[in-house]
Amino acid sequence: MQAVILAAGQSSRFWPLNTRAVAKGGDERSSSTQKHKSLIKIMGRPLIWWTIKGLNKCGIKDIIIVQGPKKDVEKELSGYKVSGLKYVVSPRPEGSGAAVWQARKLIKGPVAVVWPHKVDIEEYLPSLLRKFEANQEKIVILASKTDRPEDFGIIKFKGKRILEIVEKPKKGKEPSNIKASDPYIFPISFWDYYKKVPRGERNLIDAINLLTKERGAEVILAKKEPVSLKYPWDLFPALEYLLRDTKTKIYIGKNCQISPNCYLRGPVSIGDNCKIGNSVEIKNSIIGDNTKIPHLSYIGDSIIGENCNLGAGTITANLRFDKKTIKSKIKGNLIDTKREKFGCVVGNNTQIGINCSLMPGILIGSNCQIGPASLVRENIEDNTTFYSEYKGVKKEHKLS
């Protein structure tokens, strides 16, 4: 069995974590370029590394990675000891089906198609492989219950038989609350069906539905919803899973300085070369490499990018007064995170002044400067200098 990992998308819904810090040198501000969300690090390794490790544990070592034209995934993984990888480039984003098609010349037989952030793949892939061994002419699909059917492909059943996958149904029109999830195990015949469907972003699902109609499909229902990264806050289940076997639920990277009187409440992942000041409390959060959090700060249920500097007294609010679930604005749409506790997400290379307060669910872009004593209530775009209201005037401008 081979595996194809799809890591060529734009990850636009993962802003502000979908950027890579690029230092200009000197005292100049850094710029940033887009990066795939699978390169975000937890416990010192990018998410795709954990996915590859899980595939290897399941006996799959012949792995094809479909990446974007910048080849950033290949460059990142070159720094780790990973063998058995082959790379192909998807020149432009045309959907998952087109990405799989790019790998077809390297595929020799049945294949597991998986997204690159499946850090928990070893929990359910063995069951899918066993099911495929008994039904090698059918697609085998992982499925799970979800409370966000509008975000996923939802399975339509007739009794126990799968009829089709309905992509992102409108609220109230869901055929079930069971979502289809990767990995998919495709038989050799899949390519014949893929050739029959029109090109487009959803042609992977179209091909799956056509094959399902003619040959049938098998489903493995997961006991709990697998890790699926659509929005930044989906990193929290990934963090919890990766720290499941540690007693403290805390990971501290290389060359870090942790000052006296700090209180770390897991699950917490702190990257390499970080400085955590006196009397800082960090709870259920991810801190990127080379980030500094001086004394008397509280970081709760939050994600802080790389090369950030948070001034003393920075406080992240992570709970609404009315205890309702927290909403965040993604690409102009207000999304319910389904989380009662959620602080903020901060991109790379951002500086936050002393005594700043960050409201629940806000997203702050990369390369930003937040002035001292600011109260941040709304999202702040990349490359912005922001000061809270001063004598009735809010000062905010884009950096040149």
User: In sequence order, what DSSP letters do the residues of 330-364 get, joined into one string?
Assistant: ETTEEEE---SB--EEE-TT-EE-TT-EE-TTEEE
Residue 109: pLDDT band (50, 70, 90) is: very high
Distance CA(280)–CA(259), nearest Å, equals 8
**Statement to judge: residues 215 and 331 lie in one domain:** no
378: CATH: 2.160.10.10
Residue type, 114: V
Distance CA(112)–CA(110), nearest Å, equals 7
289 touches 274 (CB < 8 A)? yes
Q: Is the pLDDT of residue 298 over 70?
A: yes
264 touches 246 (CB < 8 A)? no
**Statement to judge: residues 45 and 170 lie in one domain:** yes
Residue type, 279: S
Is residue 97 packed enough to be buried (19+ CB in 10 Å), middle (13-18) or exposed (0-12)?
buried
Residue 364 maps to a domain: yes
pLDDT at residue 27, as a whole number: 41
Last residue of some domain: 167, 188, 221?
221
183 touches 139 (CB < 8 A)? no
Residue 10: pLDDT band (50, 70, 90) is: confident
Partnered with residue 31 across adjacent β-strands are: 22
Distance CA(136)–CA(183), nearest Å, equals 15
Last residue of some domain: 159, 187, 221?
221
**Statement to judge: residues 269 and 150 lie in one domain:** no
pLDDT at residue 388, as a whole number: 82
Counting the structural domains of the chain, the total is 2
Residue 84: pLDDT band (50, 70, 90) is: confident
pLDDT at residue 33, as a whole number: 66
Residue type, 395: K
pLDDT at residue 270, as a whole number: 98
Q: Is 0.75 surpassed by the pTM of this model?
A: yes
pLDDT at residue 313, as a whole number: 97
Residues constituting the chain: 400
Residue type, 11: S
Lowest mean pLDDT among 21-35, 46-60, 269-283, 290-304: 21-35
pLDDT at residue 394, as a whole number: 56
Distance CA(175)–CA(255), nearest Å, equals 51
pLDDT digits (tens, 9 = 90+) for 259-287: 999 999 989 999 999 999 999 999 999 99
Structural domain of 62 = 2-221
Residue 42 main-chain phi, psi, to 5 deg: -130, 135
Which residues touch 332 (CB under 8 Å, ≥6 apart)?
none
Short-list 1, 24, 391, CA closest to 186: 1
pLDDT at residue 25, as a whole number: 45
Residue 248 maps to a domain: yes
Partnered with residue 216 across adjacent β-strands are: none
102: CATH: 3.90.550.10
**Statement to judge: residues 237 and 203 lie in one domain:** no
pLDDT at residue 252, as a whole number: 97
**Statement to judge: residues 200 and 300 lie in one domain:** no
Q: Is the pLDDT of residue 32 over 80?
A: no
Q: Is the pLDDT of residue 60 over 50?
A: yes
27 three-class SS: coil
Residue 263 sits at the vertex; the CA angle it makes with 257 and 268, to the nearest 5 degrees, is 75
Q: State the average pLDDT over residues 19-40.
A: 63
Residue 390: pLDDT band (50, 70, 90) is: low
pLDDT at residue 365, as a whole number: 95
Distance CA(3)–CA(110), nearest Å, equals 9
pLDDT at residue 171, as a whole number: 85
Q: State the average pLDDT over residues 23-30.
A: 44
Q: State the average pLDDT over residues 311-325.
A: 96
139 touches 127 (CB < 8 A)? no
pLDDT digits (tens, 9 = 90+) for 329-383: 999 999 999 999 999 999 999 999 999 999 999 999 999 999 999 999 999 999 9
**Statement to judge: residues 189 and 300 lie in one domain:** no
**Statement to judge: residues 205 and 309 lie in one domain:** no
Q: State the average pLDDT over residues 243-261.
A: 95
**Statement to judge: residues 73 and 12 lie in one domain:** yes
**Statement to judge: residues 360 and 383 lie in one domain:** yes
pLDDT at residue 31, as a whole number: 47
Residue 37 maps to a domain: yes
CA–CA distances in Å: residue 117 to residues 42, 127, 352: 11, 19, 29
Lowest mean pLDDT among 31-40, 104-113, 151-160: 31-40
- DSSP state for residue 360 in the 8-state scheme: T
**Statement to judge: residues 244 and 161 lie in one domain:** no
Residue type, 377: R
Residue 65 maps to a domain: yes
**Statement to judge: residues 289 and 206 lie in one domain:** no
Q: Is the pLDDT of residue 192 over 60?
A: yes
288 touches 41 (CB < 8 A)? yes
Short-list 365, 120, 65, CA closest to 237: 120
Residue 227 maps to a domain: no
Residue 226 maps to a domain: no
Work out the mean pLDDT of the chain and round it to a whole number: 90
**Statement to judge: residues 205 and 238 lie in one domain:** no
pLDDT digits (tens, 9 = 90+) for 130-189: 999 998 899 999 999 988 888 889 999 998 899 999 998 998 889 999 999 889 999 999
Residue 340 maps to a domain: yes
CA–CA distances in Å: residue 354 to residues 299, 308, 313, 315, 374: 14, 13, 6, 10, 9
Task: Rank 19-23, 25-29, 138-142 by mean pLDDT and report only the highest.
Answer: 138-142
Last residue of some domain: 161, 190, 221?
221
pLDDT at residue 43, as a whole number: 96
CA–CA distances in Å: residue 286 to residues 117, 217, 295, 371: 16, 38, 18, 23
